[in-house]
């Protein structure tokens, strides 16, 4: 067995599962994402197809089935602020399967003729990124009932 240690970045996340259960804990992100020279973001981890996400809680580690995560909330960090908040800004209202109502911002950074909310939501991602004043929300597309802009 190798003694090589791979450095990761710890990030606190509040997960809401499909049944309404909330789990708060730390996840670990790569210091460099696969295609950029910067730390991996929570939305990248959730969209990479990993079936189970390890979360360190106050009660120990738990493995969350990523298909049953409704949303993941984390604080906005200054170093990623500019990278994911570019493009056309929209204020949208989301209704989830649990009838949870969210009023959030969305940034659509797509080609000039494809900058509508629908164009963003038509992308092949499992989790979409939305913004509150101090937090980032990654919302599972399967738990969105509707979005009104």
| Structure confidence by residue, pLDDT tens digits, 94-131 | 999 989 899 999 999 888 888 899 999 999 999 999 99
Give residue 87's pLDDT: 83
Question: Which of the residues in the chain have pLDDT under 70?
Answer: 1-7, 32-37, 78-85
In the beta sheet, which residues pair with residue 131?
105, 136
Residues 72, 17 contacting (CB under 8 angstroms): no
Instruction: Indicate whether 3 belongs to any domain.
Output: no
Do 50 and 93 share a structural domain?
A: no
Instruction: Indicate whether 1 belongs to any domain.
Output: no
**Rounded to an integer, what distance in angstroms lies between the CA atom of residue 92 and that of residue 69?**
21
Do 139 and 124 share a structural domain?
A: yes
Domain assignment of residue 142, given as a range: 78-148
**Rounded to an integer, what distance in angstroms lies between the CA atom of residue 116 and that of residue 67?**
27
Instruction: Indicate whether 2 belongs to any domain.
Output: no
Task: Out of 72, 101, 124, pick the residue that ends a domain.
Answer: 72
Nearest-5° Cα angle at 118, 139 to 44: 35
Do 117 and 89 share a structural domain?
A: yes
pTM of the model: 0.86
Task: Out of 53, 72, 91, pick the residue that ends a domain.
Answer: 72
Do 52 and 16 share a structural domain?
A: yes
In the beta sheet, which residues pair with residue 10?
28
Residue 131: give its domain's CATH number.
2.30.30
Tell me what the pLDDT averaged over the chain comes to: 88
Give residue 1's pLDDT: 47
In the beta sheet, which residues pair with residue 22?
16
Overall number of domains in the chain: 2
130 phi, psi to nearest 5 deg: -130, 165
Give residue 5's pLDDT: 58
Instruction: Indicate whether 88 belongs to any domain.
Output: yes
């Amino acid at each position: 067995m190798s003694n090589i240690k791979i450095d990761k970045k710890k990030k606190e996340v509040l997960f809401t599962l499909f049944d309404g259960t909330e789990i708060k804990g730390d996840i670990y992100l790569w210091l460099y994402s696969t295609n950029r020279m910067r730390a991996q973001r929570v939305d990248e981890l959730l969209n990479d197809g990993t079936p189970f996400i390890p979360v360190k809680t106050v009660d120990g580690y738990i493995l969350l089935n990523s298909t049953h995560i409704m949303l993941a909330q984390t604080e906005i960090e200054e170093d990623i602020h500019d990278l994911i908040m570019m493009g056309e800004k929209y204020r949208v209202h989301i209704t989830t399967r649990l009838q949870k109502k969210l009023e959030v911002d969305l940034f659509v950074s797509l080609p000039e003729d494809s900058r509508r909310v629908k164009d963003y939501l038509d992308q092949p991602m499992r989790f979409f990124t939305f913004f509150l004043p101090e937090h980032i929300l990654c919302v599972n597309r399967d738990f969105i009932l509707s979005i009104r802009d």
